[in-house]
Every structure is written in C-alpha cells, then in structure tokens.
Amino acid sequence: MFGNFIYFILALLVYTIHRPTDQPAFGPGQALVLAILLSAIFYIFVKLQFKRVMVLAKQSDSAQMDHIFSTTLTRQSILALIVYSIDIHGLHLPSHIPDYFFITTIPTLKALLFIILFIFYLVIVWSSAHDAYEYVYGQDISKRQYIHTQIALSIPVLLPWLLLSGVSDIIRLLPFSWAQGILDTPSGQAVYFSVFLVVATVFGPVLIQKFWNCSPLEPGQFRTRIERLTGRAGLTYRNILLWPIFGGRMITAGVMGLVGRFRYILVTEALKSLLEPEEIDAVIAHEIGHIKRKHLLFYLFFFIGFMVISYATLDFIVYLLVFSNPLQIVLSRYKLNPATFTSIIYALTFFLNVIVYFRFVFGYFMRNFERQADTYVFTLFNTAIPLITTFKKIIAYSGQAPEKPNWHHFSIAQRMDFLRSCELDRSWIKRHDRKVKRSIIIYCLALSLMVFGSWQLNFGQIGQRLNLHLFERLVATKQPHTAQDSILYFMIGNAYYEMQNLEKAAEAYEKSLELNPDQPEVLNNLAWLLATSKNNVIYNPLKALRIARKAASMKQSSHILDTLAEALFVNGQTDKAIAVEKQAIALAPPQQRTLYVNQLEKFLKAAKVNNLDR
C-alpha cells in the first residue's frame, strides 16, 4: 500500500513536469506504434521475471521466498514508472492528444487519461505477480481480487488529487474572476490546498470505504466485543466495517478518520476467524492507540511538512544553480538550454525529496508510531502476550519472514522483542514516548528553520539582495546587451525599489528603457518613482507625466491609470487626475479597488481644498 503511495506521487509528478512541444520527435502514428511495442516488451519482460521468481521460490525457504518476491515486485513497479516516463517525455504522448473542448477546459481529464496508462502498466506487474504471490505466501486469492485490492489501495492517493485538481478546473470555468485571481496567486493556492486537505482528511474516509467495498460488520459476539472495548477506551467512530483487502485473507485491522463522526474501524475476515478473543482485543487496542496518540493528525502534519520542505528545497536549488560556477561552465560549454536544464534539476530534486522524505523521515515516524500503538495495549490490559501471539500467527499464516523490516514498520521480530522488554520493564514505554516526542520537536525545529530560510529567500532582505546580485551578475556576464536584456534591468530596478534604494532603481529602469523604450510596465514603475519620490534628485513631475501618458497609451490597466492619475495630480491637474482615477477603479478587480478608492478620495479632498482657496 505504502509503496503504491510513492509510485503514484511520482507518476503524477512525471506528468505534471511534462512540457508540450509543437514538434515532437515522432508523429502520432509512430508514437502510438512505439508505445504499443514498448508495452509489449515490458509485458514479456515482467512475465519472465515472475516466472524466474517461481523457479527460485521452489528452491528457497520461506524467508528467502519473501525477499525474492518483494524485491522483484518493487523492481518491476519501478520499471513500470520508467516505461511510463518514456511514454510521457520520450514519445511525448500528451502532445499527440487532440485538443478537444472538454480536455482543454478541464485539463484534469487529460491527466487522468495518463494516470490510467500508468495503472495499466502496474496491472501488468500485478497480474504477472499473482501466481508467485499465491505460492510464496500460501494464499488462495483470485487474480481479479489481487489486482482489485492493489488498485483500491491506491485510492487514498488518487482520489484527493482528482478532486483537488478537478475542483480547481471547475472554479476556473465559473464566471467569477475574483476566484480565478485567488487561485493564480501563491498565497491563494496555499489557502485552497490547505482548506481542501483538511476537508479531504475529514470527509475522505466516507468515500474511501465505499471504493474499498467495505460493508458493516454484522451484529454478534465479535462486533459486541469491539464495541465494548472502544467504549471502555472512549473512542468514537461511525461504524465498524468488514475490510475485503486481498479477499479478506490478511490478518489485519485499520482505523481511518480524524473526526469521530467520520471515523471507521476496519477488520478483515481472517482476523475474525483466526484470532482468539484476547488477540482480537489486542489488535483493536493497537488501532485505538493510533487515535489516542494523535498519529493520524501527525500524518497530516507531516504531509503538509513534505509540501513545505519541497517548496523550500526548490528555492535553495535555484540559488545553487545560479551561483554555482561549475554549473554555469557546464551550461556554457555544452550549450544547454537553461530553462530545460532547470526543469530537469527541479524534477530530479522533487523525485529525491519524495524518496528521501517518505523513506527516511515519514518512514521513521511511521515505524515509531506503530511501536507506540503496540505499547498502547498496556494501557488497556496488563499484558501484551495476546498481541505477541497474534504476530506469531501472522508469520505462520502469511509466510512473511519475521526478521524482515520495511520502511514503515519494524520487523515482526523487533516488535515482539520490544513488547517482551516492556513486559519485563514498563519504563521502556516511557523511554519510547520520550524518543518520539524529542523527534517531533527536532522535526518542528528543522521545518521552522526551512520555512524561515525560504521566507527570507522569497520575501526577506536576504532574498532581495541575492536576487539583485543574480540579475546584476547576469547583466555583467552578457555582452553585448540586446532589447531582450531590458527585462533584467527591469528586475534589477524592482529589487532596488524593494530595498528602498530609489536612485539605483531609477537608474536601472532608465537602462531598461534605453534597450527597449516600449515597455508599459517599466514606464509605469519609473513614472511612479519620479512622481512620488521625496528625494529631490529623483523627483521629476513633468517627466513622470510624460512617461505615464506613454505607458497608458500602450496599455489600459488599473495600476497604470492610477500612476497616470498620480502624475496628473502632482502636476496640479487635479480634475483630470480624478477622471483618470475613476477609470482605474472601473477596470480594477473588486479585491484591488480599495487602494484606488483611497487615491480618489485623496484627489477629491485636494480638489475641495483648492475650491475653498479660490
């Protein structure tokens, strides 16, 4: 389940970073034939790999069989991701999809089409793995059930993405410019994502349990025992469900849902039929422990932390690329496109973030949270022996090697050993709780430092100075200057303006206009600076008015008309300033009108004073 989680995140990234091209290397027909040929080769290769697993399994003990199967399954799933990446970036299949109305208006549909392609490759892997899975683990499950379970376990990843992206597309189709404007800003996107994440976390379990085809656990002694234990622990939930994961043949249970009203306890048929009543109590106590220890809330927090860390990491990568002389030499020597090179570095960085974060950071907390949930048994009972015997049954029934750890769980042997230690000395529980608490504090401090660093790079003086240094460096290393370089001087001017070095800002704007005099945004910024500066060296009302009129003649927008109104006002043409400011208000989006209304009130007040003086 957790492996699929990472695979689908990477698949979504592979599609997201694709840049359509007007001239792909292959035509539509060629690309389709090559994609089919690649799929056929992949199918044959995967089939042969799992046939090899069957041969090796018959010559190995249970621990070796488990290792061989799980390693092969992981490798073939990664190969599926590689083949999918070739389809997207090598054959450019997205560029060959016709721009039908429903695809251009709702881009999520096109993305969904290619996610289905990735699922198709994974189905090849799962279908090929089925026979080996049955043999290695001694399970009797149909191929259809096996594949269906694997797909269903991916729903918690795909469903939130589909809703998040789809709702965003629908908002952009609505006739509300203010809503579209909010989604186009980084802060608006952050708020939208945060609100959606909370809503999805609270209400998502209602949908997920339906996709998993769960059904209410029938009344009886088994259900009554669970109800009695949850009542004793003070746990609220919506329902207890029978979980048909892998045909219900896996001894496991689960809990999902942050809010009691939308929380579900999940149990399998194997758990119900193979465990003794005391063992069932121990397993449910483990799941109660996850809720009581707030693990689900922390998982949400760690997921948000991943997004923050990814964003912050990209900021650091940008400055590394810019200020790294060896990289600059490579770009120059091999004549690489900086934009393409940067996109590749971004993609590789995100890939690395996903693997490192979920494997080592998220996985570390998951392993230790599972151990905390194990020890919660001691809160409800005097012993953990029933949980230890449950682990022994899992080993016997599943064929899983007891010493085999994974990135999100300690090995079963390690879990049993720790519980035995707690049986002898309960202080081990408090030691582990302190370890988890310290780890969370360290994580929060590290996350805070990254947020602070990212904030400084984007909005603080450190970032302003680095940006300024970047633009000046680019200007200094590029000779001769062309009209296209005017944008660099514009950015230098903006950086100096933010730092309140107005003389340098005006000088940079002037240089930008020397290279390209027909830039309304540059004209606008320079005009505003000349009209509003309190520095007598810079203040030049007449020049400001001339430049502002030129900018307004080239581009009719609210902020440019506002600058023209200010220039008219400082030149004593208050009535004209009032008329132009009214035009600016009429063109301004609703959320920006307050600024221009305040300007208009300033002009009207000045006009009233002038009339009284007369």
Return the pLDDT at 284: 97
For the chain, what is the mean pLDDT?
84
Residue of 158 and 36 predicted with greater confidence: 36
Banded model confidence at residue 211, pLDDT cuts 50, 70, 90? confident
The tens digit of pLDDT for each residue in 29-74 reads 998 999 999 999 999 999 999 999 999 888 877 667 878 888 899 8
Return the pLDDT at 237: 95
Return the pLDDT at 336: 53
One DSSP character per residue, 403-423 reads T--BTTB--HHHHHHHHHHHH
Per-residue CA distances from 148 to 127, 144, 246 (Å) = 10, 6, 8
As a whole-number percent, the residues of the chain with pLDDT over 90 amount to 43
Q: Residue 595, Cα to own-chain centre: how many angstroms? A: 34
Indicate whether 250 belongs to any domain: no
pTM flag (> 0.75)? no
pLDDT at 327 over 60: no
The edge-to-edge listing of strands for the beta sheet with 264-267 is: 215-216, 239-242, 264-267, 253-256
Angle at 1 between CA 64 and CA 65, to 5 degrees: 10
Return the pLDDT at 181: 67
Domain count for the chain:
2
Q: What is the mean pLDDT of residues 394-423?
A: 87
Per-residue CA distances from 611 to 137, 564, 606, 608 (Å) = 93, 22, 9, 5
pLDDT at 400 over 70: yes
Angle at 530 between CA 499 and CA 588, to 5 degrees: 85
Indicate whether 389 belongs to any domain: no
Strands 239-242 and 264-267: parallel
Indicate whether 168 belongs to any domain: no
Indicate whether 106 belongs to any domain: yes
On whether the CB atoms of residues 294 and 303 are closer than 8 A, the answer is: no
Indicate whether 372 belongs to any domain: no
Domain end position, chosen among 138, 153, 168: 153
Indicate whether 261 belongs to any domain: no
Banded model confidence at residue 384, pLDDT cuts 50, 70, 90? very high
Least confident span in 76-90, 197-211, 214-228, 488-502: 488-502
Domain end position, chosen among 120, 153, 186: 153
pLDDT at 165 over 70: yes
Return the pLDDT at 141: 87
Return the pLDDT at 77: 92
pLDDT at 330 over 60: no
Indicate whether 364 belongs to any domain: no
Phi, psi of 241 (to 5 degrees): -120, 150
Indicate whether 253 belongs to any domain: no
On whether the CB atoms of residues 205 and 262 are closer than 8 A, the answer is: yes
**Residue (of 384, 363, 380) closest to 428 by Cα position:** 384
On whether the CB atoms of residues 318 and 324 are closer than 8 A, the answer is: no
**Residue (of 487, 369, 384) closest to 426 by Cα position:** 384
pLDDT at 436 over 90: yes
CATH number for the domain that contains residue 556: 1.25.40.10
Q: Which domain holds residue 589?
A: 463-613
- Within 17-154, residue ranges assigned H as helices are 28-57, 62-85, 101-105, 107-137, 143-152
Banded model confidence at residue 491, pLDDT cuts 50, 70, 90? confident
For 387, counting Cβ atoms within 10 Å of its Cβ (0-12 exposed, 13-18 middle, 19+ buried), the class is buried
Domain end position, chosen among 99, 121, 153: 153
pLDDT at 339 over 60: no
